[in-house]
């Protein structure tokens, strides 16, 4: 059974989280609402960057035409989060809505995409995606993406915090401290992102029911070592549950 079929056949009545690759995830609610977040589906980054450090090292497991999403989210315009080859195809479905950071607008205009069904958001905003509530929260990804954001997703009485591409900012993290069922954070430690040790620090502070590292394994130049994260979290927070998600892996609440 291919990945698209598994997403579509994931049973209603349960909440599902799927890993795509890099920082991409898909959420399917109990009612069947499909939300795709920062899905990198093509190999456009290598084409733009022009060197082997950005060669895609993970297979392309989902074509943009395979699944009709209800909502697609781009937390900032870097192409491994705003896939310039995939998003126009995903948005060709008139039912799909795009929720994008403010600084994605220039890229959307460059691609001559229709502004219909696009909502631009910034930290502090809120959005109701049918039965999924989104709180748009801070994300310090540096000067290269000043309007990047993270997400607190409330779905089926579960809270999922997706940190987005961010450095360690404990001062800002304290403003959204609560009990999370899942916290997802980067561990690549490059381009202004948390490294393995820093994401463990986040987990020490928030103590989520489940921690999931991301943003590693797709490009050689990005770094990120899941074994180092594993060693650190088991040494520092022995009771903390974590999950190293393989590409296409499905976690059902």
pLDDT value of position 167: 97
pLDDT value of position 206: 98
pLDDT value of position 47: 95
In tens, the pLDDT along 61-109 reads 999 999 999 999 999 999 999 999 999 999 999 999 999 999 999 999 9
At 40, list the tokens.
Answer: 């990198």
Cβ neighbours of residue 238 closer than 8 Å, sequence gap 6 or more:
none
Q: Cα separations (Å) of 36 from 179, 233, 238, 243?
A: 23, 28, 32, 20
Mean pLDDT in residue range 164-182: 95
Residue 144, pLDDT above cutoff 90: no
Segment holding 153, helix H or strand E: strand 150-155
pLDDT value of position 175: 93
pLDDT value of position 14: 98
Cα 71–chain centre separation: 13
Structure letter (DSSP) for residue 188: B
Residue 1, pLDDT above cutoff 90: no
In tens, the pLDDT along 198-252 reads 999 999 999 999 999 999 999 999 999 999 999 999 999 999 999 999 999 999 9
162-193 b/e with 16+ CB inside 10 Å = b?
Answer: bbbbbbbeeeebeeeeeebbbbbbbbbbebbb
Residue 187, pLDDT above cutoff 90: yes
* Percent over 90 (pLDDT), the chain: 96
In tens, the pLDDT along 23-70 reads 999 999 999 999 999 999 999 999 999 999 999 999 999 999 999 999
At 205, list the tokens.
Answer: 């502070």
Bridge partners of residue 120, in order along the sequence: 100
Q: How far apart are the first and last CA of the chain?
A: 21
pLDDT value of position 17: 98
168: pLDDT confidence band, cut at 50, 70 and 90? very high
């Amino acid at each position: 059974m291919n990945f698209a079929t598994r997403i579509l056949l994931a049973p209603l009545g349960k909440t599902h989280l799927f890993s795509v690759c890099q920082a991409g995830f898909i959420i399917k609610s109990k009612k069947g609402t499909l939300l795709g977040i920062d899905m990198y589906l093509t190999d456009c980054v290598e084409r733009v960057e022009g060197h082997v450090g950005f060669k895609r090292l993970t297979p392309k497991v989902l074509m943009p035409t395979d699944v009709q999403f209800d909502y697609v989210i781009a937390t900032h315009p870097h192409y491994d989060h705003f896939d310039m080859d995939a998003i126009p195809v995903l948005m060709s479905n008139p039912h799909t809505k795009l929720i994008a950071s403010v600084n994605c607008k220039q890229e959307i205009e460059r691609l001559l995409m229709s502004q219909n069904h696009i909502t631009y958001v910034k930290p502090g905003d809120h959005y109701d995606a049918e039965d999924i509530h989104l709180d748009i929260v801070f994300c310090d990804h540096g000067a290269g993406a000043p309007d990047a954001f993270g997400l607190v997703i409330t779905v089926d009485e579960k809270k999922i915090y997706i940190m987005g591409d961010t450095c360690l900012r404990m001062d800002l993290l304290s403003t959204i401290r609560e009990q999370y069922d899942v916290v997802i954070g980067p561990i690549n430690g490059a381009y202004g992102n948390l490294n393995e040790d820093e994401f463990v620090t986040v987990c020490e502070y928030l103590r989520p029911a489940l921690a999931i590292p991301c943003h590693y394994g797709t490009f050689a130049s990005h770094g990120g070592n899941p074994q180092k994260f594993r060693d650190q979290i088991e040494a520092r927070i022995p009771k903390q549950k974590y999950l190293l998600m393989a590409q296409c892996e499905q976690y059902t609440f």
